Amino acid sequence: MFNNIAIIGLGLIGGSIARMLKKKLQSVYIIAYGRKPESLHNALKEGFIDEVASIDSINCNNVDLFIVATPVLSSITIINSLLNDPHLKSSALIIDAGSVKQSIIDSVIHHEKAHQFVGCHPMAGSEKSGYQFSTHSILTGAWVIITPHQKNKHDDIEAIEKFWEMLECRIHMTDAATHDRMVASTSHLPHIVSSALMESFFSTNNGMNQSDMQPFIGKGFKDMTRLAGGSPDMWADIVLVNNTNIIAVLDDYVQSLMKVKHIIQMATQHNDRDLVFQYFEEIQDKWNKYHA
């Protein structure tokens, strides 16, 4: 296993990984790099980190594993900078925690040290962002998608798989393109829909203040808009980098909205309750199959 680990980006995911690492391997030495001195010093004070430094002063000496847990575009820059560092150990591995994989792999695949990067995506987190919301329980039972590329070595992939399993995660392996296409539907679209609902609500009720709105807001609205509280910094990168897949699923979603709008219009025009009932019955059946 890895003795010296560098976590670059000590936010929700980076902080949660640090907490779980120290829970499982108290002897592991962790250095954290970040942009927020308060988060770094809190982690140091709490004992989850052994050393802290600015993200602008990353030192590759003696590090066995780098965990890059920053927004996607900065991850691309950081990973390539690590690969270009002459002090990077030949045995060291680099993993990320980003929600888009193909663009990162494309940026490193022709590098002579490309085999040292293994793409990873822990399907964990919440709408909260920042080290203060990190917890080791976020990782417990979470899926981690590993996206090997053609230059990876079997032993390195196996080492990363064992690393995540040690953190109580479940493993699924697939290619980067499949990963990006799937998360566009299961992760990226839900965030965009939640954000759009939040925007629509305020546009529709522009004349009302917050206290006027509260009596009309139930659990359903809170559930649907929870994701809109996510980090704008992280989501701006995700949307730009995975734009093709996201636009495709958005087109499908718009068609679904237009379908239900048409059903409501036709049911109203023909006084046909069964038409609307059948729609919701079909959706309920799909929901039941998904949750079976």
- Note whether 186 and 167 are same-domain residues: no
- Note whether 88 and 9 are same-domain residues: yes
- Note whether 120 and 37 are same-domain residues: yes
How many separate domains does the chain show? 2
- We report the CATH number of the domain holding residue 259 as 1.10.3660.10
- Note whether 152 and 247 are same-domain residues: no
From 108, 140, 175, give the residue that closes a domain. Answer: 175
- Note whether 186 and 158 are same-domain residues: no
pLDDT tens for the chain, residues 1 to 292 = 799 999 999 999 999 999 999 999 989 999 999 998 888 999 999 999 999 999 999 999 999 999 999 999 999 999 999 999 999 999 999 999 999 999 999 999 999 999 999 999 999 987 888 888 889 899 999 999 999 999 999 999 999 999 999 999 999 999 999 999 999 999 999 999 999 999 998 887 766 777 788 888 999 999 999 999 999 999 999 999 999 999 999 999 999 999 999 999 999 999 999 999 999 999 999 999 998 8
- We report the CATH number of the domain holding residue 19 as 3.40.50.720
- Note whether 108 and 220 are same-domain residues: no
From 112, 140, 175, give the residue that closes a domain. Answer: 175
Give the pTM. Answer: 0.93
- Note whether 153 and 228 are same-domain residues: no
From 175, 199, 230, give the residue that closes a domain. Answer: 175
Q: What is the 3-state secondary structure (H, E, C) of 217-231?
A: CCHHHHHHHHHHHCC
Name the residue range of residue 65's domain.
4-175
- Note whether 33 and 122 are same-domain residues: yes
- Note whether 144 and 161 are same-domain residues: yes
- Note whether 147 and 195 are same-domain residues: no
- Note whether 129 and 262 are same-domain residues: no
- Note whether 166 and 188 are same-domain residues: no
Instruction: Quote the pLDDT of residue 127.
Output: 81
